[in-house]
Structure formats: C-alpha cells, structure tokens
C-alpha cells in the first residue's frame, strides 16, 4: 500500500518577476529588452527561473512597456499578469 505525500497546506513554491517599472533612467528603449547574450534581459531572467524545477509556478508582473515585452520575450513556462496602475509613470517626487 502506497502513501500519499504530506499535505503542504496552502503553500506554493513560486517565482515572481517584477517587470512593471518604466526603467526611465535607462533611456527610451525598455531596459528589459536590452540584449544579454543574444536574448532580451527579461527572457534570460525567465529562463533562469524556469530551470528551477522546484518552482511550481512563475509569474511575471507587467506594467510599463507590457505590449512590447509580451511581443518579444519567450515565456517558457511563466505566466504574465498586467498591473495597469504601473503602465504610465509620472514625474519623480523629491
């Protein structure tokens, strides 16, 4: 007779990539599309997390530049979530 693995309850091993910022200091082109080893920086980050087999779920949160990032980046097994409140960045407060 086999035994079931113990219940972890509400726990989940997940990776979270926050990609909602405008990256305004980087310039006009989205920083997360910058080339790193022949692939966009964000794609490298997603690939690294996707290689961690213990992660059951990987979520990428988008705001600014969401359309450009979604069109150019391979998500492997990650899912995307839009954060519409971060789509436009106002002037920095001091």
Q: CA-to-CA distance for 82 and 66, rounded, in angstroms?
A: 7
What is each CA distance from 70 to 7, 12, 24, 39, 91, in whole angstroms?
Answer: 35, 25, 19, 14, 25
Report if residue 91 sits inside a domain: no
> Domain containing 43: what range?
14-86
**Residue 89: its pLDDT value, please?**
45
Write the pLDDT tens digit of every residue in 37-63: 999 999 999 999 999 999 999 999 998
Report if residue 67 sits inside a domain: yes
Query: Do 42 and 71 meet the contact criterion of CB atoms below 8 Å apart?
Result: no
Could you tell me if residue 37 is left (phi over 0), alpha (psi between -120 and 50 degrees) or otherwise beta?
A: left
pTM (predicted TM-score): 0.75
Q: CA-to-CA distance for 87 and 21, rounded, in angstroms?
A: 8
CATH number at residue 48: 3.90.550.10
């Amino acid at each position: 007779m086999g035994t079931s693995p113990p219940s972890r309850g509400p726990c989940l091993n997940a990776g979270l990539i926050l990609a909602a910022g405008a990256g305004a200091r980087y310039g006009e082109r989205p920083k997360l599309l910058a080339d790193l080893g022949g692939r966009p920086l964000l794609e490298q980050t997603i690939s690294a997390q996707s290689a961690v087999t213990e992660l059951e779920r990987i979520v990428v949160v988008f705001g600014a530049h969401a359309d450009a990032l979604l069109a150019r980046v391979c998500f492997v097994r990650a899912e995307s979530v839009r954060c519409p409140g971060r789509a436009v960045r106002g002037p920095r407060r001091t």
